[in-house]
Amino acid sequence: MPAHEQIPTPWWARAVRPARPPVPVVLMVRAAVGLAVPLSVGLLSHRLDLGVFAGLGAMHATMNDRVEPVLLRVGRVGSAVAASASGMLVGTALQHAHVGAAVLGVGLTLTAFVSGALSATGPRGSAAGMLLLVSAALGSGMPLPGPWWAAAPMMLVGAAFVVLLGLPATAHRRPASDPRNRALAAVYEALGRTLADLGTVRGAGARRVLTARLNQLQDLLPNRRRPDRAGLRPMYEAALAATEAATGLLWAWRPVPPEVAAVPGLLAEAVRRGGGEVVVPDWGPDTPARQALDVALRAAAEAVAGRPARIGTAPAPPPDPWRLRAGLLSGPSVRYGLRVALCIAAGSVVTANFPLSRSYWVPMTIAFVLKPDLGSVFLRAVSRAVGTVLGVAVTAALLSLTTEEWALTAVAALCVALLPYATAAHYGLNTLVMTPMALVLLQLGGQSSAAEFWPRVLDSVLASAVVLLFGYLLWPERPRHRIEPRLVTATTALRAYLDAVTDHRRTGEVWLRRTAYRSLADARHEVRQGLAEPPPTGRLAEQWLPATAALERLGGAVAAFAAQVRYGGRVPDPAETERVRRALDELTAAAREHRPPTSPAARPSAPHDPALSALGRAADELEVLLRKR
């Protein structure tokens, strides 16, 4: 990775550039069937009003569905849809009571505060909080079914159907059908690509892909309180050890023979088959990092073959990926709750003073745009407005061809099938897909007509303007509150990893390394998102980009140093270690005080001499980065 990355691409070009995720065929088929069946049952039973609400529940379940073990999947979908049904009950109760605009605005504002506070607690809270507010807004405006309270239970029915559809795919009757096995195989494949790219400019990108694959696998693993019947943990720990060695080799610009780089690919194939022998060649590793890689690959081969494997890592469980990042009443949660509540209150004032035909579309759009873990609020607001315009145009074109109910059911199923891919590719594409789906559901329920579709553009533009003004421009939480806290977390995690490496007991070293790599990936992701925003966020992200690159190189240097200590017999030099600690402390202080470093840190272009300390060169790089001009 170049030490000082040039950024010739303007921010707006980065903003419109979609990602290229793999096509999730299983999720797409499940989503289409999950929506089509409730709508079809509603049509056949002449209760399309109930079928539409069951379809909404199926759609909300699809938005949170993943290919993962049953317990994780049920917990993820269940928490989101439970919040969605609760919001629908609140909204329909307010509508059934015939409350005035002022009382409705207060009710939605209070719901928005709870939604925002819940959204800031973590991934599950973010999904549940958004759907709580979305459903409350929908329930306050959509025509009520008979009886009125049936809307929420029907949403649960639709969501349960989607969950049941996924049970055969997660039954784990064959190793290849187990999502954890597939994730582990993907880790080994990414490790193989990283080893093949050692010593090239592609190495840093391959290592980032490997870190992302490890993050995904870590989220799927059970904690140690549950038995590891599949024997995944030894293979996972071997992959972690091999990743540390590969990171050290990447930092040192030291390649490995092609036959060694091919071993992880063979391991991936064996994992998919459910086991088998994989031969690791005798290649005579001549440096500590190469020796570390050889030991890890041989341990992985033993584990894949079903034999005990010892790699000397600390037996600590991985962190729970769904634990609350903050308490519901913590400072960050309260601030985010107030942010969402302010936007909903402003939106309620707008809807009360404008003759909007479907006023619930405004708070619903605000809820989608303000979901905290979808990236930039600015980009989401703009993408929502543009995506809605295009989505309405697509819907109007479709309805000019037919308004037959069965045809519209097929259109809605097609849209929801595209949703898993569109969500991963770009927020604007997600809106382009979701808008026709929502409008077709309204058409099926007899709640709208083609003439009323274009006002939805006005609603979305008004909602996006409210978010930009009250949730972005006037809100005191500026860009530094997104980027710099991630950098502080990354520097703190790296310091803990360094302390574990230099401590001869190495307590929990492997898990501290995982935490450090994961926090570095989060920091880089936040900076990359900032690069796609206009100033001042884009400028701030550009200023912090060299520091994130330097921190990633430091992670590789510490990994190389760990191999030198473990396999090369190097004794940590207290003065050298203290230099790195001081540099990390200075970088942490700079992030807390909003002072991006101004000096570039050049990445070494020649292999590192294994006779020299990897930590010493890392200290040199950090001191150059932090040098004041």
Residues 276-331 pLDDT 10s = 899 999 998 988 989 989 988 998 999 888 888 776 554 444 444 444 444 566 77
Q: How far is CA 69 from the centre of its chain?
A: 18
pTM of the model: 0.76
Residue 385: closest CA among 403, 362, 402, 406: 362
Higher pLDDT, 459 or 112: 112
Confidence of residue 2 (pLDDT cuts 50, 70, 90): very low
Rounded Cα–Cα distance for residues 53 and 154 (Å): 6
Domain residue spans of the chain: 15-170+324-473, 175-304, 480-626
* Residues 6 or more apart whose Cβ sits within 8 Å of residue 568: 287, 288, 291, 610
Percent of the chain with pLDDT over 90: 27
Average of pLDDT values for 68-77?
Answer: 81
Q: What burial class does residue 10 get, using C-beta atoms within 10 Å of its C-beta: 0-12 exposed, 13-18 middle, 19+ buried?
A: exposed
In one-letter notation, the amino acid at residue 314 is: A
Sign of CA dihedral 319, 269, 234, 244: negative
Judge whether 135 and 87 are in contact, CB under 8 Å: yes
Q: Is residue 508 predicted with pLDDT exceeding 50? A: yes
In one-letter notation, the amino acid at residue 562 is: A
Judge whether 272 and 182 are in contact, CB under 8 Å: yes
Q: Is residue 109 predicted with pLDDT exceeding 70? A: yes
Judge whether 592 and 585 are in contact, CB under 8 Å: no
**Predicted local confidence at residue 320, as pLDDT:** 44
Higher pLDDT, 627 or 2: 627
Rounded Cα–Cα distance for residues 242 and 297 (Å): 7
Q: Is residue 56 predicted with pLDDT exceeding 80? A: yes
Sign of CA dihedral 530, 534, 537, 540: positive
Judge whether 350 and 418 are in contact, CB under 8 Å: no
Rounded Cα–Cα distance for residues 498 and 506 (Å): 10
Rounded Cα–Cα distance for residues 351 and 109 (Å): 13
* Residues 6 or more apart whose Cβ sits within 8 Å of residue 505: none
